[in-house]
């Protein structure tokens, strides 16, 4: 169970903040626990993607071509895995929310780090694994689980924590189809040079 | 006027694992980034963060310009390796360390080479290095693994 939140304490007691962050390892970080895809894997969104990327791989678009490949039919571009469970965006005030599509949960480790001054965020590493091709009609959901939080480090952007989570993608049969490990630096811009 | 309904390249060839050797270059891919591409790929990936389509907002966040989202970095890497290996290639892994932002008016140059080749049942895993660089330095560096049928 995560430690209780005490912002005043965390602001002055680094050990208490560090212990709070570590107490979240293994916990689900997304609001409500799971992101459900708004739509099944579908051709209109695939077409939008291949046009934006000018990706002319015929297995994404041509059923005639793809049926004779080892995929046995059209597949979605693998890197779209993340796209399927992206939340529908609330565009009003998205800038004020730091660009988040929905209200951020202030009680997750990222929200708490914001509240104690570590408001900066910079992505540093992405590791994607795709277990199987997705096809039209697949319905995904994803869970974001906190994997690790580093000790507080001094970086060129100020003091900060490297925060790593895993986003697991699960299909309509409950089977994992892939995952992403993602690391960000949450930094406090007011501590630059310290 | 005839409406174009399909852009797919139906003549694309597949590489066979026998044709691929450690040290081979992955065919380079240059993407001359524009605001249109940065915004289109962000929205196609369902990422509406203003830093990926609103230059004023991005600059207020101390970025040089609106910049490519990470989903699109991975989308372009997927295209880079499958443009080279062919439609039978399945992308299994893309691991990258992220560097400078990829911004409009600079060409993002993708390069790589074959690091290893491993038979795995009726497939062959091929690991390649990947670097995506622009005038400011490396935007992303890492590896990708594709499989091809044996």
Q: What angle do CA A122, A123, A126 make, to 5 degrees?
A: 175
Q: Looking at residue B6, what is its pLDDT? A: 67
CA distances from B96 to A7, A12, A44, A73, A110 (A): 34, 35, 29, 29, 22
Q: Is the dihedral of CA A35, A39, A40, A45 positive or negative?
A: negative
Q: Which residue has the tokens 């992308």?
A: B91
In-domain check, residue B100: yes
Query: Nearest chain B Cα to A45, which residue?
Result: B44
Give the tens place of pLDDT for each residue, A79-117: 999 999 999 999 999 988 878 888 778 899 999 999 999
Instruction: Write the CATH number for B53.
Output: 3.10.129.10
Residue A133 to residue B47, Cβ atoms within 8 A: no
Mean pLDDT of chain A: 94
Determine contact: A121 vs chain B, CB below 8 A: no
Q: Looking at residue B7, what is its pLDDT? A: 81
pLDDT tens for chain B, 150 residues: list them: 556 666 888 888 999 999 999 999 999 999 999 999 999 999 999 999 999 999 999 998 888 999 999 999 999 999 999 999 999 999 999 999 999 999 999 999 999 999 999 998 999 999 999 999 999 999 999 999 999 999
Contact by Cβ (8 Å): A50, A56: yes
Domains annotated for chain A, with CATH where assigned, are 7-37+88-191 (3.10.129.10)
**Chain A neighbors of B83, CB-CB under 8 A:** 55, 57
In-domain check, residue B1: no
Residue B49 to residue A99, Cβ atoms within 8 A: yes
Longest dimension (CA), chain B: 52
Give the tens place of pLDDT for each residue, A1-13: 889 999 999 999 9
Residue A52 to residue B41, Cβ atoms within 8 A: yes
Give the tens place of pLDDT for each residue, A125-160: 999 999 999 999 999 999 999 999 999 999 998 999
Q: Looking at residue B62, what is its pLDDT? A: 82
Question: What distance in Å separates the CA atoms of residue A24 and residue A2, rounded to the nearest whole number?
Answer: 5
Query: Nearest chain A Cα to B73, which residue?
Result: A79
- Is residue A30 predicted with pLDDT exceeding 90? no
In-domain check, residue B28: yes
Question: What distance in Å separates the CA atoms of residue B16 and residue B11, rounded to the nearest whole number?
Answer: 16
The number of distinct structural domains making up chain B is: 1
Determine contact: A119 vs chain B, CB below 8 A: no
Which residues constitute the domain of residue B88? 19-149
Can you read off the two tokens belonging to residue A176? 């994992």
In-domain check, residue B10: no
Residue B79 to residue A101, Cβ atoms within 8 A: no
Q: Looking at residue B3, what is its pLDDT? A: 60
In-domain check, residue B57: yes
A-interface mutation test, from B11, B31, B48, most A Cβ less than 10 A away: B48
- Write down the H helix ranges in A13-143: 14-23, 43-53, 63-66, 81-84, 109-115
Can you read off the two tokens belonging to residue B14? 């597949």
Predicted-complex ipTM score: 0.95
């Amino acid at each position: 169970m995560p430690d209780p939140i005490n912002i005043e304490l965390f602001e002055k007691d680094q050990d208490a903040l560090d212990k709070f962050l570590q107490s979240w390892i293994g916990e689900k970080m997304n609001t409500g626990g799971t992101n459900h895809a708004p739509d099944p894997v579908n051709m209109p969104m695939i077409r939008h993607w291949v046009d934006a990327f000018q990706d002319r791989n015929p297995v994404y678009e041509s059923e005639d071509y793809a049926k004779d490949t080892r995929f046995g039919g059209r597949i979605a571009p693998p890197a779209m895995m993340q796209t399927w469970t992206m939340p529908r965006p609330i565009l009003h005030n998205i800038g004020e929310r730091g660009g988040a599509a929905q209200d951020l949960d202030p009680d997750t480790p990222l929200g708490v780090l914001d509240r104690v001054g570590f408001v900066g965020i910079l992505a540093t590493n992405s590791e994607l694994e795709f277990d199987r091709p997705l096809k039209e009609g697949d319905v995904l959901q994803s869970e974001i689980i906190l994997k690790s939080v580093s000790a507080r480090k001094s970086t060129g952007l100020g003091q900060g924590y490297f925060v790593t989570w895993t986003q697991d993608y699960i299909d309509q049969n409950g089977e994992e189809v892939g995952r992403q490990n993602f690391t960000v630096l949450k930094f406090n811009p007011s501590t630059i040079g310290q | 006027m005839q409406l174009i309904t399909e852009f797919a390249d139906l003549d694309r060839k597949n590489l066979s694992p026998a044709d691929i050797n450690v040290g081979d270059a992955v065919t380079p891919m240059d993407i001359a980034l524009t605001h249109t591409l940065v915004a289109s790929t962000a929205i196609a990936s369902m990422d509406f963060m203003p830093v990926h389509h609103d230059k004023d907002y991005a600059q207020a966040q101390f970025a040089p310009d609106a910049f490519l989202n990470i989903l699109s970095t991975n989308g372009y890497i997927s295209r880079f390796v499958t443009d080279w290996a062919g439609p039978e290639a399945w992308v299994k892994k893309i691991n990258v360390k992220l560097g400078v932002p990829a911004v409009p008016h600079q060409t993002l140059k993708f390069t790589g080479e074959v690091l290893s080749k491993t038979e795995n049942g009726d497939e062959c895993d091929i690991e390649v290095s990947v670097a995506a660089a622009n005038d400011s330095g490396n935007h992303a560096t890492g590896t990708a693994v594709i499989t091809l049928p044996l």
